[in-house]
Amino acid sequence: MGRDRVRARTAFEPIVGYSRAVRDGRHIFVAGTGPTMPDGGEPPADAYGQGKRSFEIVLEALQELGASAEHVVRTRAYLTRAEDWEEVGRAHGEAFGSAMPATAFVVVAALLDPRWLVEVEADAMLPEQDSAPPAS
C-alpha cells in the first residue's frame, strides 16, 4: 500500500521538502502547522485566531486524505507564551471537542515565523474499512 500526501502549499515546502500531511494505510500524520493565510497575508494577531486558523488547515489536510476531526487521536500545540493556552485550547475544543484526542500543549522559545504564537500537529487513524486511499 502506497503513501498519499497533501502538499504544504507554503513558502517553507520547497526549502524543507515536506508534506502538510501523509497518509499510510489507516494512519495520517499532519505536520507542524502554523497560521498561514491563503493569500500569504498576515496571520491573525491573537492566539485564538491563530489556533483557529492552524486547526482549519489541519482539518482541510485531513479531509483531502479521507479523514475528519472524529478520526484525530492525538494533537500537539506549541505555544510561544504559556498564557495563550486557554485561547488556543478554546480553538482546539471547537475543532476536536467531540473527538477528545490525546493532546499536549508545549511552551517553546520561538517558532519558525516570528509572527506565530502557535503551531499545531495532529495524528489520525481511520477505521479498518476506510484504509483504502481516497479516490483521485
**Residue 48 pLDDT level (bands cut at 50, 70, 90):** very high
Determine the pLDDT at residue 10: 83
Domains of the chain (ranges; CATH) run 3-130 (3.30.1330.40)
Determine the pLDDT at residue 134: 62
pLDDT (tens digit per residue) in 36-47: 998 889 999 999
Distance CA 45, CA 19 (A): 26
Distance CA 75, CA 83 (A): 19
- Rg value, the chain, Cα: 15
Q: Is the pLDDT of residue 89 over 90?
A: yes
pLDDT (tens digit per residue) in 116-135: 999 999 999 999 875 556 66
Average pLDDT rounded to a whole number, residues 94-122:
97
Contact 36, 43 (CB under 8 A): yes
